[in-house]
Each structure stands twice: as C-alpha cells, then as structure tokens.
C-alpha cells in the first residue's frame, strides 16, 4: 500500500527526489521523532497506538492535491497536523490505515498594520503570530490563546479562546478569509468555498472539510500599557469563598478585565496538603483603573498596588506562561522545553458551582 502511494506521487510530481525528501516512513530514522513532535498525551506514544503509514511534510500548495487524490485511490485516511500540540490525538491517530499531512512548512506570516490584518500559514503557531504583530505595531494584538506553541490550524478551526476573550471573543470570530484544499484537490478561498463551508471551518474542525493552507485574520487594538497580577490563596486563606465569589464577578466585570483561576494542590508551610487557587489577570489599562474596578467588583480578593505590574500586551503573553518578559524570541519556539507529557482540556459551564 505504501509503495503504491509513493509510486503515484512519483508519477504525478515527476521528481521523486523532491517528494522523497518530504516523506517519512517507519524505516526512516527520523520517522519516530517527527511523529512524536506534537504528542503531549503520553498514552499516544505506546506501541499499541496506531501509527501512520507515512508522514508527508509538503512545502508548496500544489503538492497537497496529489496527496489527497492518491490517498483516496489507495483507501487511506488523511490526518492533518498544523505544528502545535494535540492532546486528543485527532491529528496523528486513526483506527484505519492513514497518512499524516504535516503542515509544518506552511508557517509564513504577513502582517498589514495599516489594514489591521494578517495572513498566516496553517502551520504557524500563535506565538509566531504574536511576534510578527509586535514587530509591525505595539498597539495591535490578536485574541488567541495563552501558550505560544499552540498551532493556529487547530486553534482557529476549533474556536480558540484566550486572554482577550471578554472584549473580543474567540480567535475564530476574527478569521475573515482562508485557503483550503477540498476533497477534489481544488484550492478555495472564502468566495469560492461559500459561506456555509467558511462558517464550518471556524469552529467545526477544519480538517473535517479539507486541508486548510492559510488563514486571514483581523487584528484588534490594545493599549500600550496593560496590567497583570497573580494572587495566590490557599484553603486557609479563604480560597473556597473567593472562588465561589469569582463566579459572580468574572462574567460581569469590565470587559477590559480578564480574570481566571488556576487551582492546584499545594504543600502548605507546615507540610500539610492543601489546594492553592491562583487568581491571574490581564487588564487592558493601567494600575489605577484596575484597582478601581477591583475595589468595586471584587474587594474580597484584597488586590493592592504592589500586586500589580504594568507592561505591554506582548509582555503579558510571556508573563502568563512563565517566560522572561525582556525577550520576544521564545515566542518563535515551537516547543516548550520545560513542559513534559500531560493532558489538558478546556470546557464551559453554564451554572455556577455551589
């Protein structure tokens, strides 16, 4: 099956050396490392996990249509991967014979600060997008996720929430065009794909409908100065009551205030196991206005000036993932070296927890 697939590609592309340099099969020494690159959930690196017959890393648009065509001809399923982490294995696991199209090479980003838009390849990360926006303008941003290593392909096509959610909504709300290769190998944009398909790929999972090559997004304005804080409260510091109160405050506050809670187990000073709640915030404005908002809406937290740090929006991205804020270069790194295997999932609740 694999040989037949490669032979088809060889005949179509007329340059087997070019194609073979982009294809990784199980006999290739780099196959396993390429496959494992985006796996964060350790259950998917077991020997029992189904593996792709090959991983293909195309460099140009025209190389993708033949892959789709000959995968159909050889009854192979396609999984599409866009260069970020995937906890659920949707982009690299299948129960039937399959190949992976890895869009790692589709990562070019072009920012138009005057029009407040950007085109970016589906293999880019949101960190790369943030970096390129900052190079063009300190007053523009994009309402994407926290972690710079998140791939835009899965992020945009799944909705995509982040620190600007309350003011600007989801990342998918700001997608204004896209380029996709459909099942027949046609490259379509918003006009040619139609509004129904364009709607579906912004939340319905883009890989369900084709191979998305690139996204065009609308950028948003942010102030030159934002304010961040992180306040920790253990159970013996009224954490339970504060978390309960937060549920009434967070959805109804000033839209410039993003205030989340991260709860983890913790060892207290006397060696007891406890729960620690971290109240983490990014506020689109300065300290004085933030203190006024918090005093009115959430005085129970006890926020004071010394808890707050003013910085730029791009620095707040680094701050929230624990990176030094004096260098933007880590935003370009596809891999967080201090993060091991783990499973994460975000969801929404409609009713407050008692």
Domain membership of residue 354 (yes or no) is: no
Q: What's the half-sphere exposure (Cβ side, CA atoms, 13 Å) at 38?
A: 26
Residue 276 near residue 335, CB atoms below 8 Å: no
- Least confident segment among 12-26, 59-73, 167-181, 319-333: 12-26
Q: What is the pLDDT of residues 259-300, one digit of tens each?
A: 999 999 988 778 889 999 999 999 999 999 999 999 999 999
Full residue range of the structural domain in which residue 266 is found: 226-311
At 141, which CATH number?
Answer: 3.30.465.10
Of 136, 135, 146, 197, give the one whose Cα is nearest residue 171: 146
Helix (H, G, I), strand (E, B) or coil at 233: strand
Residue 6 has pLDDT above 80, yes or no: no
Residues 116, 211, single domain; the answer is: yes
Q: Please report the pLDDT score of residue 184 as a whole number.
A: 92
Taking CA atoms, 56 is separated from 22, 155, 189, 258, 315, in Å, by 6, 21, 23, 40, 36
The pair phi, psi for residue 99, each rounded to 5°, is -125, 155
Give burial (CB, 10 Å; 0-12/13-18/19+) of 222: buried
In a domain, 97, yes or no: yes
Q: Domain end: 54, 75, 102, which one?
A: 102
Residue 17 has pLDDT above 60, yes or no: no
pTM score of the predicted model? 0.92
pLDDT number for residue 70? 87
Q: Which of 49-53, 109-113, 266-270, 330-334 has the lowest mean pLDDT?
A: 266-270
Pair 171, 78 in one domain = no
Q: Dihedrals φ, ψ of 177, to 5°?
A: -165, 165
Residue 339 lies in a domain: no
Question: When comparing pLDDT for 86 and 218, which is higher?
Answer: 218
Residues 161 and 83 in one domain: no
Average pLDDT over residues 127-151: 94
């Amino acid at each position: 099956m694999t040989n037949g697939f490669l032979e088809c590609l060889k005949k179509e592309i007329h340059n087997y050396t070019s194609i073979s340099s982009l294809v990784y099969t199980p006999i290739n020494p780099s196959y396993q490392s390429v496959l494992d690159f985006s796996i964060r959930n350790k259950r998917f690196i077991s020997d029992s996990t189904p593996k792709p017959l090959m991983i293909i890393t195309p460099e140009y648009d025209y190389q993708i249509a033949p892959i789709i065509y000959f995968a159909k001809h050889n009854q192979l399923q396609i999984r599409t991967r866009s260069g970020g982490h995937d906890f659920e294995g949707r982009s690299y696991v299948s129960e039937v014979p399959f190949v992976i199209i890895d869009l790692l090479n589709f990562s070019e980003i072009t920012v138009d600060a005057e029009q407040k838009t950007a085109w970016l390849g589906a293999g880019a990360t949101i960190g790369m997008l943030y970096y390129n926006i900052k190079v063009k303008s300190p007053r523009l941003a994009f309402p994407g996720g926290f972690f710079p290593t998140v791939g835009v392909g899965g992020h945009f096509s799944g909705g995509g929430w982040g620190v600007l959610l309350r003011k600007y909504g989801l990342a998918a709300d700001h997608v204004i065009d896209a380029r996709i290769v459909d099942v027949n190998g046609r490259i379509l944009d918003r006009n040619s794909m139609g509004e129904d398909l364009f709607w579906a790929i912004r939340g319905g999972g883009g890989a369900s409908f084709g191979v998305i090559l690139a996204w065009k997004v609308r950028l948003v304005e942010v102030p030159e100065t934002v304010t961040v804080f992180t306040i920790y409260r253990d159970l013996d510091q009224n954490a339970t009551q504060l978390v309960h109160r937060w549920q009434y405050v967070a959805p109804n506050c000033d839209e410039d205030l993003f205030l989340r809670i991260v709860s983890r187990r913790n060892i207290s000073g006397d060696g007891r196991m406890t729960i620690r709640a971290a109240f983490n915030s990014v506020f689109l404005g300065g300290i004085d206005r933030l203190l006024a908002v918090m005093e009115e809406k959430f005085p129970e937290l006890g926020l004071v000036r010394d808890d707050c740090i003013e910085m730029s929006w791009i620095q707040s991205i680094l701050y929230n993932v624990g990176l030094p804020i004096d260098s933007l270069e880590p935003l370009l790194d596809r891999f967080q070296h201090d993060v091991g295997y783990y499973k994460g999932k975000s969801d929404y609740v409609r009713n407050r927890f008692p």
